[in-house]
Structure 1
Amino acid sequence: MSKSVRERSIVSSFDLNKIPVKIGYGFMVLALLAIAVAMLYPFGMTVFGSLKTREEIFVFPPTYFPHHLAWHNYSEGFAYVNIARAFGNTLILYAGNAASALLIPGLAAFSLAHMKIPYRKIVTMFFMSTLMIPSATYLIPNFLNLKSLGLLDSYWAFWLPAGASAFNILLLKSFFDGINKELFEAARIDGASELRCFFNIAAPLSLPVISTLLIFAFTATWNDWYWPSLVLSAKEKYPISSLVYYDIVTAQKLTWNVKFSVLTAIMIPPLIFFLIFQKNIMHGLNIAGVKG
């Protein structure tokens, strides 16, 4: 006589019937709802504001939902700014940032994980210690180095710093450490070089964490506006984030409803990107944590 086995959760059904547990769960649900409202409210204001008329934007008391859908705000916004060019610049930046952020840290992480290099633990500790340094402290030195190299107002000012990521090195190393070393020993016996071991064995086995880093590189490239404002002087090379700040947020000629329309259009691609690849983010981080 077999009974269906149910997996027991942290709190059993018997505990859930207790009054203190119900009160605690009630507070947790209220907290989650408050967090959800606080996070979704700005998005709703942007989306619904893009569909309001100019009069509805400045009406008092303010309204959350539009009374009349003003779709012409989008045509006015797209006529004011060249989103297609900025989107293309962002994709170019992302392609270079992703290649640099994976190749250079990947080779460094593979060397620390599967090659006999002197003072390997000291080098690893050095990379870990750099994570505690605020990024604002080396912002000016990076700018001066790029200026001395003549790389300002070029995309190399983004691609080279993207390769100096201690976080990527340590995340990839934690994953490479979990790969069986006998695979690389067998490949070396067959005459494979270290580069071939990396590209043919380590990289294919590390697709979950690599996809995670690709997603992180996309969000960082899409959201960063301060660094492009420092190293780029030609507006024709501005990515999406710089376009938003200089041509939308600080624009005096645009009304708020038109600004909201452009912001809504710019907000959609990363949202879709995250919804599609959110499982890859969690899967890659979980595997990296287990491997570490």
Structure 2
Amino acid sequence: MKQAERGILSAYDLKKPANKIAYAAMSLVIAAMVVSMLYPIAVAFFNGVKANVEVNTFPPRFLPKEWHWENYVTGWKYIDLTLYLRNTIYIFLGNMVATVLVLGLASFSLSRLNWPYRKAAYYFFLVTLFIPPTTYIIPNFINLKDLGLMNTFWAFWLPAGANAFFLLLLKSFFDGLNQELFESARIDGASELRCFFQLAFPLSVPIFATLAIFVFSNAWNEWFWPSMVLGGEHYPLSTAIKRFVIDARRLDTNIRFAILTMVMIPPIFVFLIFQRYIVRGLHLGGVKG
């Protein structure tokens, strides 16, 4: 028989009035947080199945009187979601390749190779984390314009290879790998590239899975930078929603909510499916003191 794990508070502890009050207060706070997070999603969904007149009535109703599922069909036809979804996937895949090849190899060299001024390079990348990301916008824009990469996906793939946070997270993970594995491989004649692709990378699936979720979230949610460097049919999903749905003047409100609901659902399912990798990857890749 499997023994149940003991929590922070036992049944005996919960009998004390002070612990009961504290436990009830924590439960109320958690419940309030859950409601505050689910409420916007529920509002978008229910407004997406209402008639447009009902959405704009006052006082507003939470649940619809009639369910108009055809709003989602209208919203799907209003904007080419498949095109902008494909662009978002392209950005995600390119960023992920840059993360694995550029950041993975760079972090592996910082962790496992001995080369001059390695610690100086490590602290340089560490210092860049304290620079506000907004200060990079104008220099990156000018560099990409001079390189002729405007309105191309390279405007995302190249900066993805310069993510200092991902670099240090991967280095910290590689530091925890068994050094004897790499020494044995080198004795057998394996090159450093072979050590990375055949040893380090397979052992680093949890941390790369975690970074994949972060990269996907950034590619899905980012709209400001794409609006500066891309245009027209190259827009990712969030930028297209901002330009053609949020800023639209003659689009019914219920159709707006239907489109927004369709855009919100996929990342929720991605997180629910892969959420265990976030906790595990951050735990394994935590910066060691």
Structure 1 residue 8 displacement after superposition:
3.4
Letter in 2 for 1:73: N
1:118 and 1:153 map into 2 onto residues whose CA distance is 39
The count of residues paired between Structure 1 and Structure 2 equals: 289
In structure 1, distance between residues paired with 2:174 and 2:72 = 47
Structure 1 residue 102: Cα displacement:
2.1
Equivalent position to 2:198, from 197, 200, 203? 200
Which amino acid in the other structure matches residue 156 of structure 1? Answer: W
Q: 1:91 aligns with which of 75, 89, 92?
A: 89
Q: What SS does the aligned partner of 2:285 have?
A: helix
Structure 2 CA distance, aligned partners of 1:172 and 1:135? 20
Distance in 2 of aligned mates of 1:162 and 1:290: 21
1:266 corresponding residue in structure 2: 263
Equivalent of 1:214 in 193, 197, 212:
212
Letter in 2 for 1:269: P
- Aligned match of 1:277: 274
**Correspondence for 2:241:** 244
Q: CA deviation at 1:12?
A: 2.8
Distance 1:207 1:106 in 2: 12
Query: Which residue of 2 is the match for residue 105 of structure 1?
Result: 103
**Which residue matches 1:13?**
11
Please state how far the C-alpha of 1:146 moved relative to its aligned partner.
0.7
Counterpart of 1:37 (choices 26, 35, 43) is: 35
How far is 1:127 from its partner?
1.0
TM-score (norm 2): 0.96
Tell me the equivalent position of 1:286.
Answer: 283
Change (3 A) 1:126 1:255: same
- Aligned-partner residue type, residue 276 of structure 2: K
1:226-274 CA distance string (max 9 Å, x none): 11001013x1111100111000101111111000111111111111111
**Structure 2 CA distance for partners of 1:16 and 1:99, relative to 1, 3 Å:** same
Equivalent residue of 1:69, what SS? coil
Alpha-carbon distance in structure 2 between the residues aligned to 1:27 and 1:112: 46
Indicate how the Cα distance of structure 1 residues 6 and 45 shifts in structure 2: closer, same or farther if over 3 A, else same: closer
Alpha-carbon distance change, 7 to 264 in structure 1, aligned in 2, over 3 angstroms:
closer
Deviation string for 1:82-101 (max 9, x for gaps)? 11111111111111011012
Map Cα deviations across residues 267-288 of structure 1 (whole Å, 9 max, x no partner). 1111111111111111111122
User: 182, 206, 213: which is aligned to 1:184?
Assistant: 182
Unaligned runs of 5+ in 2: none
Give 1:32 deviation, angstroms. Answer: 0.8
User: How far off its partner does 1:106 sit?
Assistant: 0.6
Amino acid in structure 2 at the alignment position of 1:128: L
Deviation at 1:58, TM superposition (A): 1.1
Q: 1:6 to 1:47 in 2, by over 3 A?
A: closer
CA RMSD of aligned residues (A): 1.6
Offset, 1:291: 7.0
**TM-score normalised per structure 1:** 0.95
Q: Distance in 2 between matches of 1:253 and 1:101?
A: 41
Gaps of 5+ in 1: none
Counterpart amino acid of residue 91 in structure 1: I
* 1:15-45 deviation line (CA, Å, top 9, x unaligned): 2111111111111111111111111110000
Match of 2:157 among 159, 169, 172: 159
Greater alpha carbon shift after TM alignment, 119-128 vs 26-35? 119-128
Q: How far is the alpha carbon of 1:198 from its aligned partner?
A: 0.6
CA contact (8 A) 1:178 1:291 kept: no
Paired amino acid for 2:234: K
Q: Letter of the 1:179 partner, please give it.
A: L
